Structures are given as structure tokens and as C-alpha cells.
């Protein structure tokens, strides 16, 4: 029997601090966790709020979002709102955009 472990924000932070995840991986899984809590699968990311919750700085955050946007093989899609905030969709929602 396979065991599945729930991905938690706390676990992400531990794995990132132990160099098991890159900043892009951290943001990628952060989006998944947050989108699953959203009824429509979307997350609006404000860099200063994300950076206060995660152990990364704003430059790392912006580079990670750019990598996710530029990646053709991800199930997360991101865009930039007119006010500079990032909006991200995960899973089925990202396939519709």
C-alpha cells in the first residue's frame, strides 16, 4: 500500500531550509497549497506577504514566479495583474486559461 503525505507549508519551509527545494520549488508548492484552499483554484500573491510567510526575499520570489511563468510543463499558470500582484492558478483552472 502506498502512503501519501499531506504537503504542508511547515514541511516546505523545512525542506527549503535544508536545501531540498529551490525557491522556484518552494513557490510552486506554496501555490498548490494555497490554491487548494481556494474555492476557484486561484491565488493572488502579494510579494511582501509571501516573503513574510516564507524564508525568501522579494528578488527570489520574482525570479521564482518568472521561472514558473516561463515553464511550459507546469500545471501552475501565473500572470501579473495591472497593480503588480501575481495571480496564479493550479490544476484544472490553469488548463482553462
For the entire predicted model, the pTM comes to 0.80
> How far is the C-alpha of 1 from the C-alpha of 30, rounded, in Å?
27
Domains of the chain: 9-96 (1.10.10)
Tens of pLDDT along 12-71?
A: 999 999 999 999 999 999 988 888 888 877 888 888 899 999 999 999 999 998 888 888
Task: Determine the pLDDT at residue 1.
Answer: 62
Ramachandran angles phi, psi of 88, nearest 5°: -130, 145
> How far is the C-alpha of 15 from the C-alpha of 66, rounded, in Å?
22
Task: Determine the pLDDT at residue 52.
Answer: 96
Cell 483554484 belongs to residue: 41
> How far is the C-alpha of 91 from the C-alpha of 32, rounded, in Å?
8
Task: Determine the pLDDT at residue 42.
Answer: 82
Under 8 Å between Cβ of 15 and 57: no
Amino acid at each position: 500500500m502506498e502512503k501519501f503525505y499531506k504537503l504542508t507549508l511547515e514541511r516546505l519551509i523545512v525542506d527549503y531550509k535544508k536545501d531540498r527545494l529551490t525557491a522556484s520549488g518552494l513557490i510552486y508548492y506554496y501555490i498548490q497549497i494555497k490554491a487548494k484552499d481556494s474555492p476557484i483554484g486561484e491565488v493572488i500573491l502579494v510579494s511582501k506577504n509571501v516573503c513574510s510567510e516564507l524564508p525568501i526575499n522579494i528578488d527570489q520570489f520574482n525570479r521564482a514566479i518568472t521561472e514558473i511563468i516561463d515553464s511550459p510543463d507546469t500545471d501552475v499558470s501565473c500572470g501579473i495583474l495591472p497593480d503588480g500582484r501575481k495571480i496564479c492558478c493550479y490544476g484544472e483552472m490553469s488548463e482553462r486559461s
